[in-house]
Chain A
Amino acid sequence: MFLEDVKVIENIQIADNYYLMRVEGKKIPQHSKPGQFFMLQCKDNSKVLRRPISLHNVDGNILEFYYEALGKGTKEFTQLSIGETINVQGPLGNGYDTDLKGKNIVVIGGGMGMAPIKYLIKDLKDNNDITFIGGGRNAGAVKIIEKFDFENIQLKVATDDGSVGIKGNTVDILKEVLKDQHIDIIYTCGPHPMMEAVAKVAQENNIRCQISLEERMACGIKACVGCSILTKKGMKKVCYDGPVFESTDIVDVDVVDPNGGCK
């Protein structure tokens, strides 16, 4: 398992509290899957837990993390300068099931839920037809899309304030897409109410849907049992059995943090 000090080669503010950090290591694992995450260690020893951060992309010896600076730990990450090191542990958890060919796919990312989307689309786009729906509160929340290098992808954007794309939300766009074309599978990551609404639409239309959940966790490797949620298949660890789940397996969506998005 990869546990190493990696070197920061870029750490930029995208908008508001949204940051993109690129790190370089000698032995970056190439077997990572979209939807997996890494545990990033804080330098300040008073922060005893690592921070689970979604894998935004892997490119050779470079890992990319798109993260939101909300708490003391992630705010510390924003202060990392080029050349500094950070200890990363991963990849952890399961990822999206991307072993697909010739499928019509909708990928929906909301706000910070855009984090795993870049890698997910990169993994899927050569063999499948993809519609990507990105959404957020405002222009800042969707600004990361400008850094995506998408070709042959249908791109649709919605913001709550209408500053970019249509004024509305991703679920409205999803419903429109489903009127026009047959969709085989939906992948989503974003605020919990959004994923819940997407999952409902998917279930109503009998479409497979994978969602990525978020929970506070301590170990990231199912040793502490801190991130368990109740699913239709019993208690599952978000860190290990997830963070990606089949939407139909989630019994009671309220058991996860309603403010949570994805890893």
Chain B
Amino acid sequence: MSNRLNISFLGKKLNNPIMTASGCFGYGLEYKNYFNPNELGAAVLKGITMEPRNGNPGTRIAETPSGMLNSVGLENPGIEEFKKLIPSIKKELNIPLVANINGKILEEYIEIAKEVEQIEEIEMVELNISCPNVKDGGMAFGANPEMARLVTREVRKVLSKPMIVKLSPNVTNIVEIAKIVEEEGANGVALINTLLGMAVDIRKRKPILGNIMGGLSGPAVKPVALRMIYQVSQAVSIPVLGMGGISSTEDAIEFIMVGASAISLGTGMFGNPTLPIEIKKGLEKYCIENNIENISEIVGAAHPDGGAAYRNRLGGNNEIKG
């Protein structure tokens, strides 16, 4: 494999721009029977909170046209158990691990950030201010610009590791919120989290999901994700981790061309467990066929100026030559 897919992302050298979407990849080893997880650029692990959470009751999954709804509600074993898990994960994964952190209230975000700061094996942090499936915290932080500012600012004070803020698409003006978190010290933004939706069981005459509403993901949300990444990447000077319905190499290229420096895979892996490998090979092939020395050359290529201004603002931070 050449170095066409090598990138620098938030100061970390990644073998390729392919990552996992938090909540879709367990704690890093669940897919190892289907592909070597070390083939990924980085692994974003399932979201954690300070205390263990049971998540939401009842049916949590519903399939929708070209998509799915979930209302898992951040079921996780809590930070203490997470800390015990990490060394065994790191034994098998020599790629950067990204912790996805969540809180119900501001203080919990700060506390968990302090904990993750201490975990040596965690190289980056994804600050989740956009989970649509928890009553407290989650999307409440990501949907309100001032709350997004506050939580990013306060977490930044206690976290020195590179921080990606995962934004909610369930807002009127995503650019405004992206600019705010950048101002407050985010090193990157991840978008999009799931779109709030619902589905009804017409036989039972009630919502399918136990939590009534859930997060919509899959190919159905791809046009929304592309639009938001396109808008945000023209307004900020930090890298975008793009996700939302990527299920092929062509999808991945679209995301990069609208401004994503790296991409995350989620729902697409459920139907196709070897998707990351297919996309990795596909991107490599695309670069060769199109005489692209490094994949980062096409970040933002679909911008009106071909992405030159954005790539310039990123300062070549994405690219590793040689």
Contact = CB atoms under 8 A, between A and B. Distances in A.
A220 B24 CA distance: 11
A218 B70 contact: yes
A230 B25 contact: no
A82 interface: no
Query: Interface majority SS on A: helix, strand, loop or mixed?
Result: loop
Nearest to A47: B63
A226 B66 contact: no
A169 interface: no
Given A1-B34, A48-B68, A225-B46, A219 B75 contact: no
B303 interface: no
A227 B56 CA distance: 11
B219 interface: yes
Given A1-B33, A223-B30, A257-B59, A218 B270 contact: yes
A219 B68 contact: no
B72 A223 contact: no
A259 B58 CA distance: 12
B244 to A, nearest CB: 13
A257 B72 CA distance: 15
A215 interface: yes
A178 interface: no
Nearest to B272: A41
B54 interface: yes
Contact of B270 (A50, A215, A235): A50
Given A226-B60, A228-B75, 12 more contacts: A3-B274, A48-B247, A50-B271, A215-B59, A215-B60, A218-B68, A221-B33, A221-B273, A224-B24, A224-B61, A230-B57, A257-B58
29 contacts: A1-B33, A3-B274, A46-B66, A46-B219, A48-B66, A48-B218, A48-B267, A48-B270, A49-B270, A215-B59, A218-B61, A219-B24, A219-B30, A221-B33, A221-B273, A223-B25, A223-B31, A224-B23, A224-B61, A225-B23, A226-B60, A226-B70, A226-B72, A227-B60, A228-B60, A228-B72, A230-B54, A255-B57, A257-B59
Interchain residue pairs A-B with the least CB separation, the first 9:
A1-B33, A226-B61, A223-B26, A223-B30, A216-B61, A48-B218, A218-B270, A46-B66, A226-B60
